[in-house]
Amino acid sequence: MCLEIGKRGAPDRAEEAASLTESAGAVVCEVITGRRDRPDAATYAGSGKVEEIVAACRLHDARNVVFDHALTAVQVRNLERALSEGGPPVQVYDRTDLILEIFAQRARSHEGKLQVELARLEHLSTRLVRGWTHLERQRGGLSKTGGPGEKQIELDRRLIGERVKKLKERLKKVARTRATQRAARTRSGLLRVSIVGYTNAGKSTLFNRLTRADSLVADKLFATLDPTTRRLHLGEGVNAVVSDTVGFVKDLPHGLVAAFRSTLEETVQADLLLHVVDASNPRHDEQVDAVNVVLAEIGADDIPQLVVWNKIDRIPGAQSEVVRDPCGKILNIKASAVSGAGIEAIRAALAEVARETDPRALASAA
């Protein structure tokens, strides 16, 4: 079950929310959209729309409802009460909950699991009101003359805070190790390339095609969470280091961006961003904007980009093409990571950048 409320683009956002829901392993029974000038303070959707959702839940025997927006803890509590009244309990998820669930399922490395746990705990700390009445109980003090004791909600927050502190300390150690590895690659003088783009744009497929790696490729959102780095030979005396990174999405939760800071450092420290765009997606311009928003948030918006319009094999009549500016600099390349069209053009473009940035490669080529 998926609900989207917004002034514009409700069908488009609802379609993406449904894809996110399916990526989390759930079955979408019905998509409900609506328009409001502003969110309802109590339930976000308003009483009439809530009644429509209740009817859909009863019709499909749905136990989960997904909102493609950030909800407050109070809105989640009120919605769950309204949707569960007179029927089986219904759990409400917002966009952040959904993305966190997908990340938790996809994380494979030790670092990735730590980052996801940190993001989930920090998000949970704002949702302790969901525990409802038991969180208002007080724990008695050890002394008869002491204060009223510690409320359950205060205890939960303190325990979460302690766990968050430990996770951050462990992630700092991982970050130092990753920084040492990056420093070694920097001293090598190799061109550092990070593949970025909207989730499911074909980044891992392109990465595998360029480096002959075996990164996970799947037609689902957020198939790749853990970064993979490979050395890429681009010609006589010309080499690069290419990193495959996590995909971005609209309204990516700030907690996730913060938790994955050390992973995203691969992007911040790059010499060139290979921005992969799904050319077959009718909303590719919006996806490009969403990626650039996240890049600005992590401080990578000033790094040069080479745009790869991927998946031209899905566009009838489309062919590989290299677009240059009047000075001859490559601006973007139309390619297909699946068919291999345009891959040699991408390799040539990377070699061109490598020669410009590394005097040793330039001397070798001469």
Architecture of the domain defined by 189-365: 3-Layer(aba) Sandwich (3.40)
pLDDT of residue 6: 46
Token representation of residue 191: 């061109």
> pLDDT tens-digit profile of 229-284?
888 988 877 889 898 887 788 777 766 676 666 567 768 888 999 999 999 999 99
| Alpha-carbon distances, residue 321 vs 94, 285, 343 (angstroms) | 41, 19, 11
Residue extent(s) of CATH 3.40.50.11060 domains in the chain? 2-93
Alpha-carbon gap, residue 52 to 335, rounded angstroms: 45
Res 343 pLDDT > 90:
yes
pLDDT of residue 362: 40
Token representation of residue 271: 């010499």
pLDDT of residue 305: 94
pLDDT of residue 35: 82
Q: What percentage of the chain carries pLDDT values higher than 90?
A: 34
Alpha-carbon gap, residue 358 to 191, rounded angstroms: 7
Res 145 pLDDT > 60:
no
Architecture of the domain defined by 2-93: 3-Layer(aba) Sandwich (3.40)
> pLDDT tens-digit profile of 300-324?
889 999 999 999 999 999 999 999 8
pLDDT of residue 223: 52
For residues 94 and 73, the answer to whether their CB atoms sit within 8 Å is no
Beta-strand pair 91-93/31-34: unpaired
Higher local confidence (pLDDT), 21 or 135: 21
pLDDT of residue 130: 47
Residue extent(s) of CATH 3.40.50.300 domains in the chain? 189-365
**How confident is residue 226, by pLDDT bands cut at 50, 70 and 90?**
low
**How confident is residue 187, by pLDDT bands cut at 50, 70 and 90?**
low
pLDDT of residue 364: 41
pLDDT of residue 251: 74
Token representation of residue 96: 């952040």
Alpha helix locations (H) across 73-109?
A: 73-84, 95-106
Alpha-carbon gap, residue 262 to 238, rounded angstroms: 28
pLDDT of residue 263: 61
> pLDDT tens-digit profile of 23-41?
888 899 999 988 888 889 9
- Neighbouring CB atoms inside 10 A of 317's CB total 5
Alpha-carbon gap, residue 114 to 110, rounded angstroms: 6
Average pLDDT, the chain: 80
Higher local confidence (pLDDT), 130 or 77: 77
pLDDT of residue 288: 95
User: Three-state DSSP class for 319?
Assistant: coil
Res 141 pLDDT > 90:
no
> pLDDT tens-digit profile of 100-113?
888 888 777 777 78
